[in-house]
Amino acid sequence: MSAHALYVTAAYGITAVVLAGLIGWILLDQRARKRELAELEASGVRRRSDKVAKP
């Protein structure tokens, strides 16, 4: 394998690892935010956007 092909292969490999890490981080963070939201809703905290319209 030439030096150029090795460089390109390494670049693609590093990019794949970084993208997989970012996707994993996003999924773990999403899980944490959903858990926090469920805890808040269970404790009675509501979203500001859930306000009932005044007559």
pLDDT in tens, 2-52: 999 999 999 999 999 999 999 999 999 999 999 999 999 999 887 777 776
Structural domain count of the chain? 1
Q: Is residue 4 part of a domain?
A: no
Q: Is residue 22 part of a domain?
A: no
12-28 burial, b for 16+ CB within 10 Å, e for fewer? eeeeeeeeeeeeeeeee
Which DSSP letter does residue 49 get? G
**Residue carrying structure tokens 């994993």:** 24
Q: Is residue 19 part of a domain?
A: no
Domain that holds residue 39: 30-54
pTM of the model: 0.69
Q: Is residue 44 part of a domain?
A: yes
Q: Is residue 6 part of a domain?
A: no
Angle, CA 54 vertex, CA 48 and CA 55 arms, to 5°: 160
Report whether pLDDT(1) > 60.
yes
Report whether pLDDT(55) > 70.
no
Please give the structure tokens belonging to residue 26: 């996003």
